[in-house]
Amino acid sequence: MKLTKFLPLAAGLIVLPVLGFAQEVEIDMTPPNDEIGYIFTTFMFLVTGFLVMWMAAGFTMLEAGLVRQKNTTMQLMKNIALFSIAAIMYYLIGYNLMYPGDGWTITNVLGAFSPAVMEPVGVAGADTDLTYASVGSDFYFQLMFCATTASIVSGTLAERIKLWPFLIFVVILTGLIYPIQASWKWGGGFLDANYGFLDFAGSTVVHSVGGWAALAGALILGPRLGKYGKNGSVHPFPGANLPLATLGTLILWMGWFGFNGGSQLYMDTAGNVADISRIFANTNTAAAGGALAALLLTKLLYKKPDLTMVLNGALAGLVSITAEPLTPGLGMATIIGAIGGVIVVFAVPFLDKLKIDDVVGAIPVHLCAGIWGTIAVVLTNSDATLFGQLISIVIVGAFVFVVSAVVWFILKVTMGIRVSEEEEVQGLDIGELGMEAYPEFAKG
C-alpha cells in the first residue's frame, strides 16, 4: 500500500471518533420555520380541543350519575342542549366578543358584536390576523371552554329547574356573560392590561364563572323539596349510578390535559412543547393530590371514605392547578391539588348549612377551588401579585354573580324557572319529557 493511500485512512481513524463525539453533543436546536410552527400549534389546538370537547361527555356522565334516576333523562337533555347552544352562540357573537383585537366596542371592556369568520389560508380576513395558528383551530379550542362554563351550571341546578328557562340562561351565559368577562383577561382587556391578572387556563375565567352563575341560580331557585329539614337536618339524595359518575370524573381528568395543556397556546418550539409536557404532568398530579386528600380526610372525618367526595376531590385538584399549571414543580402541584380536595370536603357541608342546594357539588369544586387556584398562582409565579389576583376574582365574581342573578330573576318572574311540586316529586323525566332513563329497572 502506498503511503498516499494510507494517509487519508489514518486521518479518518483519527477524525472519526472525534466526529462521533461531535455528533453527540452538537444538537441542532434551530426552531422550526413559521409554517412548521403553524402546523404544530394548529394541530396541538385540534388535539387538545377534542380533549376539552370530551369534557362535555364527562360533565354529562358525572351529572347523570349523581342525580336520582327520575331526573336522569332531563340531565342528559340539558347537557346535550347546552353544548349545542354554546356552539351556536359562540359562533354568532361569543368569539368576537371575547377576542376583539383592535375592534372593541368599549375599549378593554366590551368587544365587538359580529359572527366568527374562518377564512381559508391565503384569503384576506381572519386567518391573516392569527399567523401562528389557524383561526379555525383557535375558534374550535376556545369554544370548548365556553361550553365548559355552561356545563358547570347544569349540575348545581339539577332535579328542579325547568328545561327552557335553563336553556335561555345558557344562551346568555355562552353568548354574553362568559365571552365578555373572558375578554377582560384573555382578549387583552382591562384585567390583563391594568391588573396583571394571571389565569393560565381559567380557574377564574372558566371555572369560577360557572360557579358564580350556578350560585346565583341556586339561591334564586331554592333547594330541592325535602333536602333541608326544619331542624337543620340535611337529607341526602344519593346519586343513582356511581359508575357513571366515576366515568364522568375520569373523562374530565383526561380532558383536562387538553384544557390546561392547550392553554400554552404555542407548540412551535422545544421550549413550548416541554412546557406543555410539564403542564400535563402537573395537571395529573394535582388531580391525584385532590383525590387522595379527599380520601384520607373523609376517612378521618367520617370513618368511611366517601366516593363522591373523592371524585369531587380529584376535580377540585384539577380546578386548583388550572390557574397556573406550568410554574409549580410536581410536589407543589400535588399540594395545590390536595388543598383543593380539602376545600371540597369542607365546602360541601358548609353549603348545606347555608341551605344552598348544589346537586353535584359544582360550587365547591369550580367556585371554591377556582378561587383557591387563582390565589395559589402567587406561590409559584413571581409575575402574579396577590392584589391583581384578588381584585380580578372580585371583579369577575361580582359581574357574573350580579348579571346572572338579574337574568335568573327575570326568568323567574316572567316564565318561571322551577317545575311544579308535583312534577318535582314525580321526577322531571316523566313530567317534562315523558321519557324515563331506565324504564325497565324496578325502583328499589
Among 50, 113, 190, 399, binds a copy of itself (CB under 8 A): 50
Least Å distance, CB 406 to a copy of itself, is 25
Stretch touching a copy of itself by CB under 8 A, among 172-180, 249-257, 396-404, 405-413:
249-257
User: How many residues belong to the chain?
Assistant: 444
Judged by CB under 8 A, the residue of 96, 111, 127, 407 near a copy of itself is 127
Contact 52, 149 (CB under 8 A): no
> Of 54-113, which residues contact a copy of itself (CB under 8 A)?
54, 56-57, 60-61, 64-65, 68-69, 72-73, 76-77, 79-81, 83-88, 91
Per-residue cell: 321: 392547578
* Nearest Cα to Cα of residue 158 among 369, 398, 429: 429
On whether the CB atoms of residues 52 and 44 are closer than 8 A, the answer is no
- Asked if residues 218 and 24 have their Cβ atoms less than 8 Å apart, the reply is no
Q: Residue 356 and residue 203: Cα distance in Å, rounded?
A: 22
Contact positions with a copy of itself (CB under 8 A) in 327-346:
329-331, 334
Span from 10-18, 37-45, 97-105, 224-232 in contact with a copy of itself (CB under 8 A): 37-45
Asked if 411 and 212 touch (Cβ cutoff 8 Å), the reply is no
Contact between residue 260 and residue 324 where contact means Cβ atoms under 8 Å apart: no
Give the integer Cα–Cα distance in Å for 202 and 183: 12
Task: State yes or no: residue 5 binds a copy of itself (CB under 8 A).
Answer: no
Q: Which is nearer to a copy of itself, 8 or 329 (CB)?
A: 329
Write down the least CB distance from residue 307 to a copy of itself, Å.
5
- Grid cell locating 10: 489514518
135 binds a copy of itself (CB under 8 A): yes
Write the binding mask 136 to 165 for a copy of itself: x where contact by CB under 8 A, - elsewhere.
xx-xx--x-------------------x--
Q: Which positions from 372 to 391 touch a copy of itself by CB under 8 A, shown as an x/- string? A: --------------------
Residue from the set 43, 104, 113, 399 that interacts with a copy of itself by CB under 8 A = 43
DSSP tag of 271: H
- Packing angle, helices 72-89 and 135-156, rounded to 10: 150
Q: Give the DSSP letter of residue 94.
A: I
Footprint (CB under 8 A) of a copy of itself, residues 285-324: 285, 287-289, 291-292, 295, 304-308, 310-311, 314
Chosen residue from 238, 382, 413, 422 binding a copy of itself by CB under 8 A: 238
Residue with cell 483519527: 14
- Distance, in Å, from the CA atom of 102 to the CA atom of 100, rounded to the nearest integer, reads 6
